[in-house]
Amino acid sequence: MKKLLALTVAVITAFSLVACGGNNAGNSAAGGSNGKVSLKILDTEYAVEDYAVCVAKENTALLESINKALEELTADGTAQAIVDKYISDKQHDLVFQADAEGKEEIHMATNAQFPPYEFYDGEKIVGIDAEMASAIADKLDKKLVIDDMEFDAIITSVQTGKSDFGMAGMTVTEERLANISFSSSYATGIQSVIVPENSEITSVDDLYAEGKNYLVGTQKGTTGDIYAEDDFGADRVMKYASGNEAVQALITGKVDCVIIDNEPAKAYVAANNK
Ligand code: ARG
């Protein structure tokens, strides 16, 4: 467990995780009798974090209006309804961005490979962040435009003003705060570890075992990636463009575990094991 940062009030509690896979990429993962690799999430946590919206440092007016919007959306239950729709499958009948056409645009930078926060449903980017951003844009009387990019491009896009804000299940860290501002937190994230069902890794502590040198798969530039590199060294961390690619590497035995936020971990494991 490391680098836990609780800067702001967590107004909503959702979860995320970090996962790890592989037996020195040796391939303990190579399937059961039907050749399919079943995955599971370790029940010990690797890190607990806060998610927030990021905004360019000089853009204090926008930061204030986002904080105000988040506060209102939390107070009137909208934020919880959005989380419940994606995490507990409880539909709501709220409508966002109904008459946004023609309004001034507000651009959100994200990496839409992170269910249930942001992912594609057909051509459309949906998820907790996408919907929360729509609700925020309504309050700001703007038309939301989502700019999809690599996760590690988001901060630069916001810093340089190409995007107005970033929302991507993004964890508040001190290092990031040196470059951008964060809103109040709207969710809690947990970094979790995914392993094959039959893995000899049974707890986060096992990852530190002397002489084992387990290989960890991560999504490049994420906190799971950064912490894993700090803890295990660059040689043991395999970085992928998306969490899904890291999970594919776990299934094919290239890594021994994947460290990723808890809710995406649940989504990936469920999709794999079904
Ligand atoms: N919470 C982690 C971080 O901030 C991972 C976020 C990844 N988000 C995404 N949309 N791919 O580093």
**Tens of pLDDT along 101-154?**
999 999 999 999 999 999 999 999 999 999 999 999 999 999 999 999 999 999
Q: How far is the CA of 50 from the centre of ligand 1 (A)?
A: 11
Rounded Cα distance, 19 and 270, in Å: 14
What pLDDT does 266 receive? 97
- Residue 45 Cβ inside 6 Å of ligand 1? The answer reads no
Between the CA atoms of 72, 77, 83 and 87, what dihedral angle is there, to the nearest 10 degrees? Answer: 170
Ligand 1 pocket test: which of 45, 86, 108, 114 has the largest number of ligand atoms within 8 Å of its C-beta?
Answer: 114
In a structure prediction context, what are the per-residue pLDDT tens digits for the chain, which is 274 residues long?
Answer: 443 333 333 333 333 333 443 445 544 444 545 568 999 999 988 999 999 999 999 999 999 999 999 999 999 999 999 999 999 999 999 999 999 999 999 999 999 999 999 999 999 999 999 999 999 999 999 999 999 999 999 999 999 999 999 999 999 999 999 999 999 999 999 999 999 999 999 999 999 999 999 999 999 999 999 999 999 999 999 999 999 999 999 999 999 999 999 999 999 999 999 9
Q: How far is the CA of 80 from the centre of ligand 1 (A)?
A: 20
Spatial contact of 191 and 246, defined as CB atoms under 8 Å apart: no
- Residue 171 Cβ inside 6 Å of ligand 1? The answer reads yes
Q: How far is the CA of 95 from the centre of ligand 1 (A)?
A: 26
What pLDDT does 35 receive? 66
By three-state DSSP, how is residue 110 classified?
strand
- Residue 185 Cβ inside 6 Å of ligand 1? The answer reads no
Nearest atom of ligand 1 to the alpha carbon of 151? 11
- Residue 181 Cβ inside 6 Å of ligand 1? The answer reads no
Count of beta carbons in the 10 Å neighbourhood of residue 154: 25
Pairing of strands 216-219, 39-41: unpaired
Query: Looking at ligand 1, which residue's alpha carbon is closest to its atom 12?
Result: 222
Q: How far is the CA of 91 from the centre of ligand 1 (A)?
A: 25
- Residue 180 Cβ inside 6 Å of ligand 1? The answer reads no
What pLDDT does 24 receive? 55
> Which residue do the tokens 């990636």 mark?
225
Q: How far is the CA of 211 from the centre of ligand 1 (A)?
A: 30
Closest CA to 51 of 153, 144, 152, 190: 190
> Which residue do the tokens 């939301």 mark?
144
What pLDDT does 36 receive? 84
Beta bridge partners of 21: 257
- Residue 115 Cβ inside 6 Å of ligand 1? The answer reads no
Ligand 1 pocket test: which of 7, 151, 152, 173 has the largest number of ligand atoms within 8 Å of its C-beta?
Answer: 151
What pLDDT does 25 receive? 53
Q: How far is the CA of 99 from the centre of ligand 1 (A)?
A: 30
What pLDDT does 44 receive? 87
What pLDDT does 2 receive? 44
Count of beta carbons in the 10 Å neighbourhood of residue 273: 12
Q: What is the pTM of this model?
A: 0.88
What pLDDT does 11 receive? 32
Between the CA atoms of 204, 168, 11 and 160, what dihedral angle is there, to the nearest 10 degrees? Answer: 120
Nearest atom of ligand 1 to the alpha carbon of 110? 10
